[in-house]
Each structure stands twice: as C-alpha cells, then as structure tokens.
Chains A and B, each alone.
Chain A
C-alpha cells in the first residue's frame, strides 16, 4: 500500500532530517515507528500527509490502493486525505467557531466528492455520526462544540479517532497518539483504533514508548535514529527497546 524508498527530507531550506528511509506497509498490516526524540519520526508522519514545512530532497513515496499506484509527493495535502491517507495529529489544532459536526460533514463530503461518491445531507450524516460516536463510546455532546477548542488532551486525541472513523481511511498515520494520555484514555483510544482495523487498511503508529503497542499490536516495528531506520523487527524489538532504551541502537545505521 505504502512504499517509501530512500527518502531524504529537510525543513524547507533547513538542515536535513530524514536521511534515506525505506519501508513498505502492506494492506492489513500495523507498523510501529519508534525512536528517541529528534530522530525524525514525526517528520516522516507529516511528510506522508504533505506538511508544507518540509521539502523532500531525494527518494520516493508511492501509495497504491485498488491497484492504482500514485506518487504521493505529487498530491496536495487534501488530495492525499481524499485518497485515503489520514494523519492523527500529535497536537490537534483548535478551530474556533466551527463546530465538530459542521467540520466533519464538510470533510466527509469533500472526500466523497473527490472519490465521485454521493454526498450526505445533514440528516443522513447525523445518523452516520451517531453510529461512529456509539462505536467509539463517545459523548454526543462532542459534536456541537467547536473543533478541539477547550478540549482536554484526551478529548483531542479521541476526537482525532472520531474523525478517522468518519473518514474511514486506507492508511492511518498516528503521530504520538499516546502522548499526554493517562492509562484510561490510552485504552479508549487504542480500542477505537483496533475497532477500525480491517484487512484492507493499514496503520502506521509513531510512538516514543512501547506502552501504546501493548494495546495496538504491531506486525512490524522500526526503530528510527538520526533520520535512518536502524533496526526493523517484530513486537519483540519494541519490548527490547522498552527494557534497554535506545542507546544500544544509536549509531547502528550510520555505517
């Protein structure tokens, strides 16, 4: 589904951050990307979504759904979203004055238009929204509040998962979705993500700690350091990182 080859990237006109990342995510898989602060994890997530602050200097990102292969770097951020890529933000952004319901419907219908599907009118959309709220065990009062304004950390992260549930992406990229969450909130968020897993979609989790991986089991774990993947393994790699930290892996990819 997602094929990244030799990706080099930097902050626009700034210092290089990613120095040759290659990885492949197949439909149905869950990948975790771990690594110390500043290793480039969040940068990778944001580049996949098309954040304008970054510049790809070398390498390719290909995205394939229904046997249609696209060069992701040719697509605008909203086109990537419409093509089925979803980034759950590490720091979800406040949108004052715009209610969650209005935002979600605008977003849902934009994706429908792009994919040539009929849009939903407010009543039908309301039914869909209620169904997803129930599935995620979320309070319906959420939807009338302005997007993320005065939300607690946990509410913001759950709101990201609600958006994900509505947009039903093929590839979900979760950027430090566990950060700032207490254990109860973490469980709720993880349950939400697990409920949305299907054999046709894939998840890429960016995380510093192993604890999220207890609740969302990855098939593949990559450790990133200084802009390179220094080790790839199965879940046991995450456990080893939890036990030993990152020090023993650092510098391993430099050779």
Chain B
C-alpha cells in the first residue's frame, strides 16, 4: 500500500481536516438519538432492539478504570454520535455520488477509491466519520460469493446473517465500551466468506475521523464458513485537534470448521501533541471465536498512534485443534499511553495459542502489556506460548507486563517469556561507527526487535509498518 500510514511524531501528516458539508445530529446521548441513528440507517427492527438493550445496560454501568492509563472523566453528553458527509446527490450508492472532497481526502491518505486509480490487490471499504463512503472490487468478490460491504448495507441486504452473528462473540453487555458501541455504532465493515472459498485478495477497511467532537463507533463483523479463509487489514488516521476524541469500536470474528481469519491492524490515530494535548482515545473490543474444529484466528496489530490505546484482541478457542495467535507491536512516544494485549481462552481439546508482544516505550510514554491465558478444565492437551518483550528508549518512559495465567487442566503446557531492553546512545554510536547512518541504525534495531511480528503482516503493510515506526522513533532517539 503506498505511503498510507506514515507520520512523524512532530508533524503528523494526516492531521488535516476536510471541509465537507455534513449531516450531523445534536450532541448528547439518549434513546431518541439511538432511534434517530437507526432510522437514518434504515435498519431492521432487531438492530434497534439490540441497540436499546445495550444502551439500557450501559446506563447502569460505571466506566472501568482498571487499565494502567489515566485520563480525565469523559463527558458522554458532549459527544456527537453521528456525522456523515452529505452526498453530492441525494442517495449514496456509487462513488460518483460521493462528495468529491471526501474522495480527495482518501486519495490524500493514499487510498484512491476511483475505478482507475484504486489499489489492484486489495479491496478497500472506506469509512469517513460515521459512514462507509465506498467499497472497491465488490463485483469481483461477489463472483466468489463473498460479501464485503459496509455494516449498514449488510444490515439491510443480509439481515439474517447479521442477526445470527451480531453480538455472538462480543455480547452487548460484554463491557462498558462494547455496550456503548452496541448502542450507537454507525458503520464499519461486514465480511462473509462462504464455505470453501479462499478470498482471492486482501480485504481492507480504512477508518477516517474528520468531524470535531464526534465519536467514531464502528462495528466490524467477519464470518468465515467451513474451509474458508480471508486476510483482512485495517488502517486509521484522524485530524490533529486539541480535544480528545473517543473511538470505541467492536470487532467480531467467527471461524467455522477449518476456516482461517487473519486480521491485521496498522493503527496511526492522532496521538496528541508532545505534551499530551489532544489525541484519540482508542478503546476497542476485538475478539474472535474459533467456533469450528481446526479453525484459526490470527491477530496482528501495529499500534503506533492514539493518545490512549486500550485493547485486547482475543480468541475464544472453542473448536478442537483450533489455533489462536496474537502478534503485537505497540509503540508509544511523547505522552501516549497503551494498555494492550490479548486473551486466549482455551475451551476445546488440543487448542494452541501463541502470543508475541513487542512494546516500545519512548520519552514520557507508558506502555503496558496485559494478557490472559485461560486453560479451562475441558481443554485437554492445550498449549500456549507467550513472549512479551519491552524496549525502552530514554529514561522517562515506562514499560509494564501484566500476564495472567489460569490453568484448569493439568495436561496443558503454558510457557511465558519476558524481556526488557533499552536502545541506548552507545548502541546507536556503535552501529554508526560501522557505517550505518542514524536512520539505518534505528531501523536495524527496531526491525530486529519487531521482526517476529512484522513477518506476520501482509508484505506491503509490513513495509509501511516498518517505515511508520522508524519515523516515530527518529524523533525520539537521542
């Protein structure tokens, strides 16, 4: 993917705002707002009920504070829960009806959507604030029986699929932010890969927050039927603003017998300025269910942006012999805070999970790995291997590891390894004295540290991820 997610810490190059006429609703949250969102999206009644149930549950909950991050109270009535760019023509349907400013925005982000320019090897769903503005390569995918469209469209066109799987992995009352998302989610992507189909190209969603004081609550649902496989990638950016903005997403993955879902994220939300002013709160619930035998769900995340990241892409290993993987690189600089990791819940026999987490903390940032490995009594022969490494750059940053291991079956094998290291000025000088310039030296160090994760990304994203990290680090390393 060309130059999509790069930025430097000091000049976040995706920090621009697009002037676009938007269809927005009043700030604040109540049942009427939820009904309004649902009606704007012409949703089937079951969805409105799902939303209201979630909202009523959410009202009774208290915002959780157990993560190792600090932030002032969020005023949920000061957030706008819906903002959509107005179409050039009355009905959004094809790209020609999308406001040209919006298309220009995605082009500037390196995601051309038009027929001539669009990326050839990747199908892209582009989400601008609360709505999907277009999905490429739909026709080709449809020939294979694959559905790749916005969540709203799926709710209208494939209500039975949505109804049977929505909330099946992350229930509406799973946690505070998932409940909020369930009540007010606006758009996101929907993927359905039918039995026996290997998706012929990578699928990708690009999330862009544009409007001020607006939350982004997207919902993604990916279903791989028996023997199906798919590789999905998400990217995201937002304008630079002094106020914090909330991004509370939910992603649900379902893999039936022998199915494989690979989900990769390159996250580059605006992280706030050097002193921690502004930036996105990235409070996300991502979970996959290996429902079938021999199924596999693999998460790879490169978390390089957002003021606060709070997410634990997890796998429920229900099917016998199923496999869960979590590969993560989390880079924090300036005053960023990340509390991220995974949960591997072993239910089936001979289930296997692998966790490889690499945290890089720079400047005054705080970077924590938090992970749970649970082997339930029925998970005969389960295995887990965890490797959690932290790298410190500078003296004022903080790295933590919070591993939780619960073993309820004595045939299980669980391994956990952790290391902490530091990039020092002496290390850089050593590499420079061997002919490598500073950039090459940092790149060598970071690549060495993260290579086990980068190699799991689709190639073009791996190149981008490396470049993104190098640029962020350049300003942070001595």
Query: A95: which of B425, B448, B478 is its contact (CB, 8 Å)?
Result: B448
Q: Most chain-B CB neighbours within 10 Å: which of A80, A86, A103, A111?
A: A103
Q: Are A97 and B445 in contact (CB under 8 A)?
A: yes
Q: Does A110 contact B (CB under 8 A)?
A: yes
Report the Cα distance A110→B429, complex, angstroms: 15
Q: Does A167 contact B (CB under 8 A)?
A: yes
Q: Most chain-B CB neighbours within 10 Å: which of A49, A76, A78, A110?
A: A78
Interface string of A60-98 (1 = CB under 8 A from B): 000000000000000011101110001101001111111
> Which residues of B are at the interface with A, using a C-beta cutoff of 8 A?
419, 421, 424-427, 429-438, 440-441, 444-445, 447-449, 451, 478
Q: Are A51 and B429 in contact (CB under 8 A)?
A: yes
Q: Are B435 and A81 in contact (CB under 8 A)?
A: yes
- Extra contacts, 4 of them, besides A107-B435, A110-B437 (Cβ < 8 A), are A78-B435, A93-B430, A108-B435, A110-B440
Q: Are A106 and B436 in contact (CB under 8 A)?
A: yes
Q: Are B436 and A78 in contact (CB under 8 A)?
A: yes
Contact residues in A for B425 (Cβ distance below 8 Å): 52-53
Q: Are A76 and B437 in contact (CB under 8 A)?
A: yes
**Please, could you name 8 A-B residue pairs with CB atoms under 8 Å apart, sorted by A?**
A52-B425, A52-B429, A78-B440, A81-B432, A96-B421, A97-B449, A107-B436, A110-B435
Contact residues in B for A53 (Cβ distance below 8 Å): 425
Contact residues in B for A82 (Cβ distance below 8 Å): 435
Interface size on A, residues (CB 8 A): 32
Q: Are B430 and A95 in contact (CB under 8 A)?
A: yes
Q: Does A36 contact B (CB under 8 A)?
A: no
Q: Are A77 and B448 in contact (CB under 8 A)?
A: no
Q: How far is the CB of B387 from chain A (nearest CB, A)?
A: 12
Contact residues in B for A163 (Cβ distance below 8 Å): 434
Interface string of A97-138 (1 = CB under 8 A from B): 110001100111011001000000000000000000000000
Q: Most chain-A CB neighbours within 10 Å: which of B425, B427, B448?
A: B448
A95-B431 contact, Cβ under 8 Å, with A76-B437, A78-B437:
yes
Report the Cα distance A53→B451, complex, angstroms: 31
Q: Are A98 and B436 in contact (CB under 8 A)?
A: no
Q: How far is the CB of B445 from chain A (nearest CB, A)?
A: 7
Q: Does A35 contact B (CB under 8 A)?
A: no
Contact residues in B for A86 (Cβ distance below 8 Å): 433
Q: Does A50 contact B (CB under 8 A)?
A: yes
Q: Does A146 contact B (CB under 8 A)?
A: yes
Closest to A93 in B: B430
Q: Are A106 and B444 in contact (CB under 8 A)?
A: yes
Contact residues in A for B435 (Cβ distance below 8 Å): 78, 81-82, 107-108, 110-111, 114, 167
Q: Are A103 and B444 in contact (CB under 8 A)?
A: yes
